[in-house]
């Protein structure tokens, strides 16, 4: 599994618009068969985090290049102050106390965790 965590600080007074935009993007992402799960979180400081799980890195990267996705994320530029994107691969999954072990795919030793911010201070995914 390939996970993407997009961390965003929202511009003051733009939270409602941000939520509208991120929900529209989320609906489009959910339609992609390679997207396994996605969730929106807000931490105690008011920073938002989108956690998105993908079948693999290649599927996520193809999604990033999709013209419709590029069009949708353009709406984020006027509602967020900055953002970073961290990508990671699953190394292991631990047995849950309610029984069972989630399926997991071991990562190769060449897999890494990566963080990026665009030159404008905004990660575009």
47, with CB counted inside 10 A (0-12, 13-18, 19+), is middle
For the entire predicted model, the pTM comes to: 0.77
C-alpha distances (whole Å) from 121 to each of 26, 80, 92, 124 are 22, 10, 32, 9
pLDDT in tens, the chain (125 residues): 999 999 999 999 999 999 999 999 999 999 999 999 999 999 999 999 999 999 999 999 999 999 999 999 999 999 999 999 999 999 998 887 776 655 544 444 344 445 555 434 445 55
Q: Give the whole-angstrom CA distance, residue 98 versus residue 118.
A: 41
End-to-end CA distance of the chain: 18
Return all residues near 81 (Cβ < 8 A) that are at least 6 apart: 9, 10, 11
Q: The tokens 């029984």 sit on which residue?
A: 99
pLDDT at 107: 47
Q: What pLDDT sits at residue 123?
A: 54
Domains detected in the chain: 2-116 (3.30.70.100)
CA distance 97 to 70: 41
């Amino acid at each position: 599994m390939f996970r993407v965590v997009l961390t965003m600080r929202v511009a003051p007074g733009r939270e409602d618009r941000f939520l509208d935009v991120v929900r529209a993007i989320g609906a489009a992402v959910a339609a992609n068969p390679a997207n396994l799960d996605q969730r929106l979180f807000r931490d105690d400081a008011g920073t938002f985090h989108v956690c998105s799980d993908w079948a693999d890195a290649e599927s996520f990267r193809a999604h990033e290049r999709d013209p419709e996705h590029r069009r949708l994320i353009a709406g984020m530029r006027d509602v967020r102050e900055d953002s970073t994107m961290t990508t990671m691969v699953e190394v292991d999954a631990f047995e849950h106390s309610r029984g069972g072990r989630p399926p997991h795919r071991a990562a190769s030793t060449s897999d890494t965790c990566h963080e990026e911010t665009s030159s404008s201070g905004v990660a575009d995914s």
